[in-house]
Each structure stands twice: as C-alpha cells, then as structure tokens.
Amino acid sequence: MRIDTMLAEGRTNSFEFFPPITDEEQIALTRTLQELEDLKPSFVSVTYRGGSSSRDRTYALVRWLREHGKVESMAHLTCVHHVREELVEILEDYRSIGVENLLALGGDPDPEHGQAGELRHAIELVELAREVGGFSIGVAAHPAGHPLSPDLVTDRRHLAEKLRIADFAITQLFFDAVAWRRLVDELGALGVEKPVLPGIMPITTVASIGKMRDLGGIVPESLVERLHAAQEDGPKAVRAEGVAASTELCEELLELGAPGLHFFTMNRSTATREIFASLQHE
C-alpha cells in the first residue's frame, strides 16, 4: 500500500533500518524485524548512503522485504553523485519489483567522490520520481532548519516547495513536541498541509547526547539535565530515563495531532518496543 493512502486512512507507526553489511548485521536485523512484527508496523524504511555498494544493499533489503511480504517498505534514495540516467534506472528497478514508496533526499556530498551529480537538490529528485511515476514520495524535514539553509524562513520556503509536489515528510530527530507543531504551523501558513511524520530516536546514554547534536537534533537542556541526574544511578537508569522521555515526547506529539510516529531504530528493537508498550498502557 502507498504511504499517502495509509496516512489518509489514519495514524501510522513506522521504523527505519539501515542495510546490513556483514553476516552478523544481517542476523541482528532479521531478529529485530521479527521482534517488531507484533507491533504491526505500517511500513519500514531502508536508508541509503549513496554509491553503488550502498545502492545495492538498499535494493537487496527492500526486495527481501517485498518477497517475504510481511511489511510494506519505503526505499531511501539520494541524488548526490548520481547522473540522471542512473537515477531513472534505480527508480524503474524499484517500480519493477512493486516498490511504491520512496523517500527522496539530496544526500551529503562525499569530498573524496569527486563528481557531484546532475541533480543537486532533493526537489529535483522528487520531480524525477514523478516523471517516472508510480510512487508515493516522502521528503525530509528539519524542525530546526536544514544545516545548509541560511535562515529558518528560507528553509521553510524550500520545504514547502518540495511538499507541494511530494506526498508527505519525515522529520530529522528532535526532542521537543512544540518544535514539530511549529514546523507544521509554519508550513500551513505557506499553504502546505501535507502530513509531517515526526522522527523519534531515544537518547539512552549520556555519551550519545553529543552524537544527537551532531546529527542535527537540538537536545533541550532540561533533557540533558534529566539524563545527567539519572547517571548517578548508573547506565540502566540513564537508559530508562531516555526511554521515558521519548515516550512522553510521543504522547505529546499524538496529542498535538501528529499523523504517526517514525522510529529511527539503529537496527535494534528493544527501546522501540518499550515505548510502544508504554503508549499502549496509557
């Protein structure tokens, strides 16, 4: 089923994975997928880092999910370092195996790669996917603004332009429900009311706070203090506090009208399942 159809029918729950490289990673991912089956995900998404090897791994995992028929999948695709003809080939390959859902991304340039690619921005990839046809297309949204945007006004204008031709957006990680609501309201003021799925990633260690910030997430000082306070009782207490904070974030987002929840799993299921269990017991 197309994701835009799912969103039109009601709330979605979805999970993001990265393609395994080693046999050990494949075993771990298979176990995680099995553990998440009981949560009845609306769809799962498969990341893409660019380049032929990553492209092949993403395609292989999406195809494997299609063949096993247990969950709908969405393929990530970046336009950086690809020529137009190659992107058309990738899109047609996905369409040939019945993949209907695509997350169209610009991608981060690799200084060692050399060639930038014919398409420079995600909106061009959205337009190309529309030309090929047959896809429900999502794009990325940044509650705090894209790192390369000169200001928030410009960021929102560019995001609105993408969403006028795409079907939905998924945010990068964030930790304040008000930031999601503000993003949606600002898009609405620009005449765009497409669904924006909030991206969720629990912080389960104090050390990962810096990593979350490196990934573009603004970690509220109140959450930092909460995790540091829990550190006095050890790593398990920090993890429990991080899961509790993410559960509270999800509750607030749903109260504010979020159309669903999209979890960045890092190919592990435990924290996601704990959050779901807490939400279901509310």
Active site residues: 16
Q: How far apart are CA 181 and CA 176, in angstroms?
A: 9
| Helix residue ranges per DSSP H, the chain | 3-9, 23-36, 52-68, 84-96, 122-132, 152-165, 177-189, 208-214, 221-230, 235-255, 270-280
**SS3 (DSSP) at 237:** helix
Q: How far apart are CA 28 and CA 48, in angstroms?
A: 19
Contact in structure between 32 and 4 (CB atoms under 8 Å): no
Contacts of 207 (CB under 8 A, 6+ apart): none
First to last CA, the chain: 29
Strand 101-105 with 12-17, pairing: unpaired
Secondary element (H or E) of residue 74: strand 73-78
